[in-house]
Amino acid sequence: MINIGFNIIFGVCCVILAMMATSSALAVYRLPVNIVPTHYDLDIITFLEPDNFSFQGNVKIKVKCSQATDIIKVHARDLDFDKEKISVTADTGNSLNIADSYSDVDNEFYVVKTKEPLKGGELYSLNLSFHGLLKENLIGYYRSYYTDPETNTTKWLTVTHFEPSDARQAFPCFDEPAMKATFTIRLAHKDNYKSVSNMPLKNTTPFENKPGWVWDEFETTVPMSTYLVAYMVSDFEFQQSETTSNNVLFRVWTHRDVLHQTEFASRVGPRFLSFYEDFFDVKYPLPKQDLLAIPDFKIGAMENWGIITFREVALLMDEKETSSRAKLRIANVIAHELAHMWFGNLVTMQWWTDLWLKEGFATYMAGLSVHHEFPEWNSLDESALSDLLNVFNLDSLKSSHPVSVPIGHPNEIMQIFDAISYDKGSFLLRMMSLFLGENVFKRGVSEYLKKHKYGNAEQDDLWVSLTEQAHKHNALPPELSVKQIMDTWTLQTGYPLITVTRDYQNRKATVSQERYLAIKSTNPEDYKGCWWVPLSYSTSKEPDFNRTQPQQWLSCDKTSAELDVGVGKGEWFILNNRAAGLYRVNYDQENWEMLAALLNSPQHTQVDALNRAQLIIDVMDVAELGRLSYQLAFEIIGSLRHEKEFLPWEAGLAKLEPIKTMLSRTANYGSFKKFIQKLMAPIVSSLGTLTEEPSTFEQSRLLSCIATWACPLEVGDFASQASQLYKQWRSSPNPDTDNPIPKDVRSAVYSHIVREGKVEEWDFLWERYKNTNLSTEKTNIMIALTTTKEVWLLNRCLDWTLDSNSGIRKQESFIMFALVAKQETGFYVAQKFFFRNIKRISDYFGATSALIGRYITAIAQQMIHPKELEELKWFVDSNEELLAPASLAVTQALESVQINIDWMKNHYSAISTVLSEVTGS
């Protein structure tokens, strides 16, 4: 048993008192705070047989009553209770008589009413016996399976997934993040299985009067929220990492035939853990850390304390077979989840309003820890660019939401697990670290964690700790606080467009701000916004892009600011060194022209690669606003002909992707194709062949990126090389073990095979999909299968996404749908399929699932005509009830279609002219 200690208990009590102070404002679907839990004794018996997939349980919850009441409410969903075994016992030993017990289905409560009231200031124990079904719905306590390749038999397992509010589907509990308690968990199962939970196994004993069964009892946890409780029953095996200086037992679990794919995770995981201990100056508080690769898992991974659960594709890899892109993704996911052990687990948000406090931090810290472990990957800048692209896209919508977003009913929570909470939160933390300085930022974060450990916090608590350190080390003037700056970024929707007007004669520049909106508004109020903007810049005289601390601030109380930039006519100026701030920049025409000339010259490397990427992003989007000509924008994006670095190419292709999508169903797609061929010819030539091993990790990423575009658009001879590689593979005696296609170009080659082939090629890839046990390879093949031009094959793909026996797992269903919708032919097929099958999709994933909103988003991205918007609106109106769990995504989808329509109306002609001029066609 772990000794919790006085400080922990004191912290929990402070949280309880804070909750009591606000209890009067709580809505009916929130738990009252006059009864709060302090400890759970949880027993679960798991029946894992095809004729009996179920579980039984008993929970004894020790609670504290702060105000007399005869009502105890706990959360419960889809659980049946044995009313004869319900009891409420005072700490003195006296039992209270039960007057009634019943379910409040609408609010997901189970209510116990006593005949005599519980007394304020007293401790009680609530005992409940219950049972439920082990479904395949990927939430609560559910079942999954894998196929044993040696015996060709199905092996079953059970595992939990509770975030954000599904612990209540596994056991009755106080299922809110601030209701922290300790847990002692016991799991009963047949003795041919093993179990694992948050804490180390304490002992295993026979199950009395049940031969062949055992009880596994685990050590008591530290105080934690219910959404972090986790357990699994399976026949999995584990690989144990070498013991490190912190003596944390580190293991990676999966089924036996893929256990060799855990080597990377078991090697890097402990190193990430050590990095966080050093960075936060807070030791990892548990004695062990398990990582579990689950065959069926709802999301990428989940940070349950001491027992992180992953999709197999997010954890398992083979060094010889897994691409650089997938390897980076796996490293980032592992690092992200381990960062949660501090942000989310040790200190938890008070309510889901501040979800970003854990998800933004985990995203940001993952980038730092991966860079620390693998500096040669140069992945930190890529993380920043990825965050920037995702935020710029979603947060430019009127229907976006603040980072710290008011959340009401728990049904709304899943809708904010998006780029705003993750990527915008991450980028804002990076911005703070840069304007405060890394050491000040680290000290502030460390103090925040120490002050609130084992408790709950809000964003204001973080601002206080950071401000204290900023003032102590003169990172901010005494009159300026972190809250004053950062509330402008977290409490309002959107981000600023900074307009730069240069005074060349006086060597000055004036900057002003307004909200950036992707869709033009006639209401001036929509553009109003006020951000504290950190301004850093470089010039042709001082190209110091590493100077990322602000040289000046554009504050909220001023509409504009003047910069003494020190350069005049014929000398360029670039704002926002290394994208240190979250804002777009629009320069005057003359400065843009100088930048275009610079980027198209041999001197383009004077500009930092991340800034070259941001210039491409900004110029393309400012042109979309109509404030700059596409002719100039294409001059700048045309500078990619001179580029050999990954970041500018990643940014450029990201901005060309939506134009490609909109032109793909028009008469001018041929001109766009010629433009890409001309643009990419130099890089394709310099990369050589698809089989040539790149010299660096970043070059591997670049080759993969370029091949993905070059094959379908017939740039150079990459397509013919892909065909030749396929012929070699097809002629192999055993294509499942002998694959000549290099790992970093497999996705591109596979897609080329299917896109240009017939049903034989599709079937060949499908066989490989079924036969491989490497999940990253399955992903490559799945992408390829959806590129077929055969309508009946696309329809078969979509039908299989809703058939649990097809070989497409439920967790992959939406991914395959989105991939189909992305294709020129597939869009029409996917749209009709979704319109025709929305009820079936809703039933398949559960009527309350927000996932259905992602289906709407996937097809909306491809819509470009007013008639398509009319059809979508009609469809939304006709299915209002089914789409209710995804109301935010639906609103955003409709807005994005209108943006596409406006683009076609305002820019299609201009783009067509520019493409004709550039290509000479």
Q: Which of 619, 548, 544, 615 is nearest to 581 (CA)?
A: 548
Residue 194 CA to its chain's centroid (Å): 31
The count of C-alpha atoms lying within 13 angstroms of the C-alpha of 210, restricted to the half-sphere facing its C-beta, is 14
Angle at 560 between CA 557 and CA 562, to 5 degrees: 120
For strands 80-81 and 123-133, give the pairing.
antiparallel
Here the tokens at position 537 are 């810049």
- Return d(Cα 340, Cα 102) in angstroms, integer: 36
Q: Does the bond joining 164 to the residue before it have cis omega, within 30 degrees of 0? A: yes
Angle between helical axes of 459-472 and 438-452 (0-180°, round to 10): 130
Alpha carbon distance, N-terminus to C-terminus of the chain: 76
For strands 307-311 and 301-302, give the pairing.
antiparallel
- Return d(Cα 748, Cα 727) in angstroms, integer: 15
- Return d(Cα 884, Cα 875) in angstroms, integer: 13
Q: Which residues of 378-388 are buried (b: 16+ CB within 10 A; e: fewer)?
A: bbbbbbbbbbb
- Return d(Cα 226, Cα 473) in angstroms, integer: 39
**CA of 511: how far to CAs of 54, 459, 502, 607, in Å?**
64, 29, 9, 21
Identify the residue whose tokens are 């010259």: 601
Q: Which residues of 171-204 are buried (b: 16+ CB within 10 A; e: fewer)?
A: bbbbbbbbbbbbbbbbbbbbeebbbbbbbeeeee
- Return d(Cα 562, Cα 576) in angstroms, integer: 15
For residue 352, report the phi and psi dihedrals to the nearest 5 degrees: -65, -10
Here the tokens at position 319 are 């060094």
* In contact, 851 and 891? CB cutoff 8 Å: no
Residues in the chain: 921
Partnered with residue 510 across adjacent β-strands are: 501, 562
- Quote the strand ranges of 10-121, DSSP E: 35-49, 52-65, 69-75, 80-81, 87-90, 95-96, 98-104, 109-118
Q: Which of 343, 360, 364, 338 is nearest to 265 (CA)?
A: 338
Residue 904 CA to its chain's centroid (Å): 31
- Return d(Cα 440, Cα 468) in angstroms, integer: 9
Q: Is 608 exposed, middle or buried (0-12, 13-18, 19+ CB in 10 A)?
A: buried
- The residues annotated with a catalytic role in the active site are 337
- Return d(Cα 623, Cα 673) in angstroms, integer: 21
Residue 327 CA to its chain's centroid (Å): 17
The count of C-alpha atoms lying within 13 angstroms of the C-alpha of 433, restricted to the half-sphere facing its C-beta, is 17
| Residues whose CB falls within 8 Å of the CB of residue 561, separated by 6 or more in sequence, listed in order | 510, 511, 512, 535, 552, 553, 554, 555
Here the tokens at position 393 are 């896209």
- Answer left, alpha or beta for residue 565, where phi above 0 means left and psi between -120 and 50 means alpha: alpha
Partnered with residue 201 across adjacent β-strands are: 218
Q: Is the dihedral of CA 857, 858, 864, 866 positive or negative?
A: negative
Q: Say which DSSP state 422 is in.
A: I
Helix (H) / strand (E) containing 845: helix 824-845
- Return d(Cα 731, Cα 428) in angstroms, integer: 52
Residue 603, SS3? Answer: helix
